[in-house]
Amino acid sequence: MNRRLLKDRTAGYMMFFLTISSLLLVVTMGIGLYLKASPILEEHSLWDLLSASEWKPMKNQFGFFPFLMGTLWVSGLALIIAIPISLLMAIYLTEYAHSLVRRFVYPFLDILAGLPSVIYGVWGMLLIVPWVANVAAPWVDRNTTGYTTLACGIVLGVMVIPLLVSLFIEIFSNVSHELREATFALGATRWQTTKHVVLRKTAPGIIAAIVLAASRVMGETIAAIMVCGNLAIAPGSLLDACYPIPALIANNYGEMLSMPLYESALMFAAFILFFVVLVFNLFSRLVLKKIKTE
């Protein structure tokens, strides 16, 4: 075999191997987390762990319900804030805005998307937390420190907006120019074109982008820790403190050396997160496939 072909083939195998190993990484991570979490699963049933609310590692009580609820509340709130805002922003930028506006806004969006999450956390502590404590809570006759689910949801929502906007922009710009012209030529306004053609054409992509954003929000750690309050209670309202799963892991890992089950419990928390994100992604793939074939 001549050298040219040999090189080509080696390069091919090498790239194949690297690609496959990234897939294997996901599998090994999953297995590793599961193995590390198994001691606690042997001692408590899965259902007990997920539904119990008491978190007292010293007394061997590991209830994950507050953390699950914390993650759900925070992610739900963040998405409720972020989705409409970023959709409208992306629609404006792709369908309405003059190219000059676009040229100025895009770099800013990139900067926002690239900011380290700790900066969003600081911003939340300086601005959102006092706002919740001094404005939002008194408005409904409540007294809080401001470190609440609401603050956390707002911070994470704002944080994920640049990501969502740039994903949406990408998706919308893939809609062919001809399609837009076809509906303009029928006398449609830009809003009608957006609503009936652009959004319809890109619905699968929009769902995929939202799922991506959801995974990002659920896994966000630093910004959440800084504003969520870190109290192991299931939030009953937006003005209660909460404790999302990533915050639990990051706050406690390293302090649990003396208690064998504690580490296992935190690994179980990581496994839950891993599993939820995995299921989310698989689910979105299924939805995408179904919409595409319809």
Which residues of this chain interact with other proteins, rule CB under 8 A?
99, 176-189, 192, 196-197, 200-201, 294
Cβ 87 to other proteins shortest distance, Å: 18
Nearest approach, Cβ of residue 189 and other proteins (Å): 6
- Cα separation of 40 and 99, whole Å? 57
Cα–Cα distance measured from residue 294 to residue 67, given in angstroms and rounded to the nearest whole number: 38
Q: Which of 276, 152, 285, 149 lies closest to 214, judged by CA? A: 276
- 84 touches 160 (CB < 8 A): no
Q: Min. distance of Cβ 285 from other proteins in angstroms?
A: 21
Residue closer to other proteins by CB (options 4, 177) is 177
Closer residue to other proteins (CB): 2 or 99: 99
Residue 216 and residue 122: Cα distance in Å, rounded? Answer: 19
CA end-to-end distance (rounded Å), the chain: 48
Q: How far is the CB of 192 from other proteins (least distance, A)?
A: 5
18 vs 185, beta carbon nearer other proteins: 185
Note whether 155 and 236 are within 8 A (CB). Answer: no
Minimum Å gap between C-beta 205 and other proteins is 12
Q: Measured from the CB of residue 272, what is the shortest distance to other proteins in angstroms?
A: 38
- C-beta closer to other proteins: residue 24 or 182: 182
Nearer to other proteins (CB atom), residue 185 or residue 257: 185
Min dist. Cβ of residue 288 to other proteins (A): 15
Say which amino acid occupies 32.
G
- The residue among 117, 191, 200 whose CA lies nearest residue 159 is 117
The distance of Cα 217 from the centroid of its chain, to the nearest Å, equals 2
Nearer to other proteins, 118 or 182 (CB): 182
**Residues 31, 280, 166, 126: is their CA dihedral positive or negative?**
negative
Cβ of residue 176: shortest distance to other proteins, in angstroms? 8
Minimal CA–CA distance to 63: which of 233, 216, 196?
233
Whichever of 42 and 181 has its CB closer to other proteins, that residue is 181
Q: Are 242 and 37 in contact (CB under 8 A)?
A: no
Contacts of 281 (CB under 8 A, 6+ apart): 211, 215
Q: Between 204 and 219, whose beta carbon lies closer to other proteins?
A: 204
Q: Are 60 and 44 in contact (CB under 8 A)?
A: no
